[in-house]
Amino acid sequence: MKRTFTFTFFVLVTLGLLAYALYQGLVVAPTEATMGDVQRIFYYHLPHAWVAFLLFFTNFLASIWYLVRRTGRADALALASAEVGVVFCTVVLVTGPLWARPVWGIWWTWDARLTSTLVLWLIYVSYLVLRRFATGAQTQVLAAALAIFGFVDVPIVYLSIRYFRTQHPQPVIAGGEGSGLDPRMWSAVLWNLAGFLSFALLLIWLRYRLALAENAVEEAHADRALGPEAETRAAKPEARGAAPEVGNKPR
Amino acid sequence: MKFLYLAYIATWTIHLLYILYLTGRYRRLREERKELEKQ
């Protein structure tokens, strides 16, 4: 009952934040002088990129946690953060070209920022494909190793516009001299960041719980197949939450 | 304005598709649990 109330409260807060963020981005923020209204894509594009980076960082930490402790919870968190991270990164890759077309005159260019972002998306999609289709006891270990090496691309994406000449604009936030935003634009960025961060947490929580529940069902199936001795073992409290080497793979 | 609306609509379409995917997985899980209880 308490959990349902907390969940409903969290959903309502997230919806409120997202609605207010939309109002900030479309109404409160001033129209940009050179690009016009299409610049408002920025209020969705940038927060999605930041949240995706944060989710991939969570996946990185959870993968290390899994390799050290081998717990089902770490593995479920790694899977949830990678999956939601891919969703957010997909939004970045879709809104980017929709902004580029009217401003640059092209949908896409192979510059350092765009290419490294596409590579980042492909790394985490391959991580999810590995999780979904690979079978065997070492799948989670391989996925965790891939996640740790894959995370190397995140700082490359972040730094690409600072170290390379790119079609993508130079950073407007923390970009040094000449960079910066109108305070009302800043406000729209921060509200959208809060809204989408809250939304991402909600999705992660749902996906994390789903992974744990699927594990439990899979374990119950395996125990049924093995007979009463295995069922007694599974009923012990210390057996729960730990990921056995075989047959406990969140998909 | 066309591209702005397209970007916002595309964003929410992607998120809604993912929510639908999660809902489907939860529904399948519930059915599997019911079957397990029946056995």
ipTM computed for the complex = 0.94
Q: Above 60 in pLDDT, residue A210? A: yes
Q: How high is the pLDDT of residue A174? A: 67
Q: Which of A27-31, A82-86, A133-137, A210-214 has the lowest mean pLDDT?
A: A133-137
Q: Copy the structure tokens of residue A210.
A: 């789903």
Which among A41, A33, A24 has a CA at the least distance from the CA of A186? Answer: A24
CA distance B4 to chain A (A): 5
Q: How high is the pLDDT of residue A166? A: 76
Rounded distance between C-alpha atoms, residue A246 and residue A137, angstroms:
5
Q: Which of A40, A84, A217 sits opposite B33 (nearest CB)?
A: A217
Which of B5, B11, B19, B39 would you mutate first to test chain A, the one with the most A CBs within 10 A?
A: B11
CA distance A67 to chain B (A): 27
User: Which residues on neighbouring strands pair with residue A242, listed in sequence order?
Assistant: A71
pLDDT in tens, A58-104: 999 999 999 999 999 999 999 999 999 999 999 999 999 999 999 99
HSE value, Cβ hemisphere, 13 Å, CA-based, for A235: 7
pLDDT band at A153 (very low <50, low <70, confident <90, very high): very high
pLDDT in tens, A115-132: 999 999 999 999 999 999
Rounded distance between C-alpha atoms, residue A60 and residue A53, angstroms:
10
Contacts of A205 (CB under 8 A, 6+ apart): A10
CA distance A37 to chain B (A): 6
Rounded distance between C-alpha atoms, residue A158 and residue A109, angstroms:
17
Q: Which of B3, B33, B36 sits opposite A102 (nearest CB)?
A: B3
Highest mean pLDDT among A208-222, A235-249, B3-17: B3-17
Q: How high is the pLDDT of residue A245? A: 46
Mean pLDDT value of segment B1-20: 95
pTM for this predicted structure: 0.88
Count Cβ atoms within 10 A of the Cβ of residue A129 and give its class: 0-12 exposed, 13-18 middle, 19 or more buried. exposed
For A233, the enclosing helix (H) or strand (E) is helix A228-235
Chain A residues lying within 8 Å of B8, measured CB to CB:
22, 41, 44
Residue A71 main-chain phi, psi, to 5 deg: -100, 150
Q: Above 80 in pLDDT, residue A39? A: yes
User: Do residues A36 and B1 lie in contact, with contact meaning Cβ atoms separated by under 8 Å?
Assistant: no
Contacts of A223 (CB under 8 A, 6+ apart): A230, A231, A233, A234
Q: How high is the pLDDT of residue A235? A: 55
Mean pLDDT value of segment B32-36: 89
A174 or A121: which leads in pLDDT: A121
Q: How many helices (H) and strands (E) does chain A have?
A: 8, 0
A229 or B29: which leads in pLDDT: B29
Mean pLDDT value of segment A42-58: 96
Q: Above 70 in pLDDT, residue A243? A: no
pLDDT band at A247 (very low <50, low <70, confident <90, very high): very low
Q: How high is the pLDDT of residue A66? A: 95
Q: Which of A84, A87, A98 sits opposite B7 (nearest CB)?
A: A98
DSSP for A138-176, please give it: THHHHHHHHHHHHTTHHHHHHHHHHHS--SSPPPSSS--
Q: Above 70 in pLDDT, residue A177? A: no
Q: Which domains does chain A have, with CATH numbers?
A: 15-205 (1.20.120)
Q: How high is the pLDDT of residue A218? A: 86
User: Do residues A243 and A72 lie in contact, with contact meaning Cβ atoms separated by under 8 Å?
Assistant: yes
Domain boundaries, chain B: 1-39
Count Cβ atoms within 10 A of the Cβ of residue A207 and give its class: 0-12 exposed, 13-18 middle, 19 or more buried. buried
Which among A176, A161, A163, A78 has a CA at the least distance from the CA of A117? Answer: A161
Which among A140, A23, A15 has a CA at the least distance from the CA of A76? Answer: A140
Q: Which residue of A has its CA nearest to B25?
A: A210
Rounded distance between C-alpha atoms, residue A148 and residue A170, angstroms:
28
